């Protein structure tokens, strides 16, 4: 084993193509597979340990609140359960919110989340396409930059939700308003990061490509686009967070009509004085925000940037 490790560590110093590393040639030997199994076990143990460590504060908070609430309810029985729910009741409430019985009038939370995700998907897709196009135009053309940059830098200082009143007067109380709010929330960061990514590319690279006889399309696809990809994807990652934040607020402000959605669900909790509903909604918002980042953005970053060799392989 020790010799194996030594040989590994010595070979680390030699440069390896990252694509080549993924297809090791000697997978057939038993020793190697065993060591890889041990590696996998160690990794998964570490991973599980990290997850456990991350869950510990939530568990302790849960216990603390449980005890505190039990004491409060024991001392003062007048306090309503609706206003200050006990944590274990919250869990039961979350279960009922996801799987309401047949006799319940209210739809499942899953429906609300699905509606919100659909709106985010539409708004974000429009924002990505138009934002990257306009960002590239602003990055390439000097006059586009001079024309649009002042306007965008003024507009970026308006909170996204402040657009909602204007949109309400134009489109009325309906889901279109929400989708366009999401679009406005993610449009500006995407434009900004794309433009910055293209403008911060070293001019010498472009000159070098030009000297070697590249035409404009080649320069764009082989120099500008790969060079600005890190910035663009960082912008996308920011933007999806922004659009997820925007949708909650937008749905809360449009909640006078029966648009579904997670913001609508939360505001419903306020109207009904159901704290449990609000808390479940808040937890779901946080979970979905983390999920969007982990499922959509991290793999995107991994596959594009790692494949194109823009980011070094990180340790651990």
Partner 1 sequence: MTVQKPPVKEEGLTEENTSRPNRFLLFWEYSKKDLMSVVYTILAVGLFLSIWELLGYYNVLKEPQFFRPSVIFAQTWVLTKSGEIFIHIFSSLARLLISFSLAAIFGLLIGLLMGRYKAVKAFFDPLVTFFIPIPGIAWAPLIFVWVGVEPLFSRWGLIDSTSWWWKFGLGNPVLIIIGTIAGIFPVIQNINMAVRTADKKLIWAAQTMGASNNYIFRKVLLPNSLPFLFTGFKLGLARSWRTIIATEFLSAAMEGLGYFIFFNRTLETRLTRINIYVGIFVLSVVFYVIELGLKYLERITIEKYGMVRKGGESL
Shortest Cβ 18–partner 1 spacing (Å): 27
Of 154, 211, 212, 213, the one binding partner 1 (CB under 8 A) is 154
Of 177, 181, 195, 275, the one binding partner 1 (CB under 8 A) is 275
CA atoms of 253 and 247, how far apart (whole Å): 10
Give the count of residues interacting with partner 1 (CB under 8 A): 58
Of 165, 207, 298, 307, the one binding partner 1 (CB under 8 A) is 165
Rg (CA), the chain: 26
SS3 214: coil
Of 97, 190, 232, 252, the one binding partner 1 (CB under 8 A) is 252
Q: Which stretch binds partner 1 (CB under 8 A): 21-29, 118-126, 227-235, 261-269?
A: 261-269
DSSP category for residue 107: P
204 binds partner 1 (CB under 8 A): no
CA atoms of 186 and 253, how far apart (whole Å): 18
241: Cβ contacts below 8 Å, ≥ 6 apart: 289, 292, 293
DSSP category for residue 159: -
Nearer to partner 1 by Cβ, of 66 and 293: the residue is 293
* Residues from 74 through 103 that contact partner 1 (CB under 8 A): 83-84
Nearer to partner 1 by Cβ, of 14 and 54: the residue is 54
214 binds partner 1 (CB under 8 A): no
Q: Which two tokens stand for residue 236?
A: 């996308």
Nearer to partner 1 by Cβ, of 100 and 289: the residue is 289
Shortest Cβ 102–partner 1 spacing (Å): 28
Q: Which stretch binds partner 1 (CB under 8 A): 19-27, 91-99, 222-230, 285-293?
A: 285-293
Q: Which stretch binds partner 1 (CB under 8 A): 36-44, 143-151, 215-223, 225-233?
A: 143-151
Please give the C-alpha separations between residue 46 and each of 34, 43, 197, in angstroms, as whole numbers.
Answer: 18, 5, 36
Of 124, 163, 183, 187, the one binding partner 1 (CB under 8 A) is 163
Shortest Cβ 162–partner 1 spacing (Å): 5
Shortest Cβ 279–partner 1 spacing (Å): 7
CA atoms of 190 and 234, how far apart (whole Å): 9
Nearer to partner 1 by Cβ, of 129 and 286: the residue is 286
199 binds partner 1 (CB under 8 A): yes
* Residues from 50 through 79 that contact partner 1 (CB under 8 A): 53-58, 60-61
Half-sphere exposure for 19 (CA within 13 Å, toward CB): 7
Half-sphere exposure for 182 (CA within 13 Å, toward CB): 24
CA atoms of 68 and 60, how far apart (whole Å): 12
CA atoms of 313 and 2, how far apart (whole Å): 25
SS3 28: coil
Contact 189, 240 (CB under 8 A): no
- For residue 34, give the H/E element and its range: helix 30-75
Contact 171, 154 (CB under 8 A): no
59: Cβ contacts below 8 Å, ≥ 6 apart: none
Binding site for partner 1 (CB under 8 A): 53-58, 60-61, 83-84, 146-151, 154-155, 157-166, 168-170, 199-200, 203, 241, 244-246, 248-249, 252-253, 263, 266-267, 269-270, 273, 275, 278-279, 281-282, 285-286, 289-290, 293
């Amino acid at each position: 084993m020790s010799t194996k490790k030594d040989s590994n560590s010595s070979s680390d110093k030699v440069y390896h193509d990252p694509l080549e590393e993924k297809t090791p040639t000697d997978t057939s030997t038993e020793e190697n597979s065993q060591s890889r199994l041990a590696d996998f076990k160690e990794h998964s143990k570490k991973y599980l340990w990290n997850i456990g460590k991350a869950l510990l504060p939530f568990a302790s908070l849960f216990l603390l609140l449980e005890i505190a609430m039990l004491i409060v309810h024991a001392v003062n029985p007048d306090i309503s359960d609706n206003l200050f729910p006990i944590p274990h009741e919250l869990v039961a409430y979350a279960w009922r919110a996801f799987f309401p019985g047949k006799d319940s009038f209210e739809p499942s939370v899953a429906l609300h989340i699905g509606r919100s995700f659909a709106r985010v998907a539409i708004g974000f897709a429009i924002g990505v396409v138009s934002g990257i196009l306009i960002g590239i135009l602003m990055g390439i053309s000097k006059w586009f930059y001079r024309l649009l940059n002042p306007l965008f830098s003024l507009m970026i200082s308006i909170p996204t939700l402040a657009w909602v009143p204007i949109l309400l007067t134009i489109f009325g109380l309906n889901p279109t308003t929400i989708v366009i709010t999401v679009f406005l929330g993610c449009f500006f960061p995407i434009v900004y990061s794309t433009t910055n990514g293209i403008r911060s590319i070293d001019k010498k690279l472009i000159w070098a490509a030009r000297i070697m006889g590249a035409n404009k399309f080649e320069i764009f696809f082989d120099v500008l686009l790969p060079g600005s990809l890190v910035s663009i994807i960082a912008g996308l990652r920011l933007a999806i967070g922004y659009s997820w934040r925007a949708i909650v607020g937008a749905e809360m402000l449009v909640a006078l009509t029966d648009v579904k959605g997670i913001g609508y669900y939360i505001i419903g909790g306020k109207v009904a004085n159901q704290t449990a509903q609000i808390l479940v909604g808040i937890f779901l918002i946080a979970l979905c925000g983390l999920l969007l980042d982990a499922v959509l953005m991290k793999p995107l970053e991994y596959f594009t940037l790692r494949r194109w060799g823009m980011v070094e392989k990180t340790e651990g």
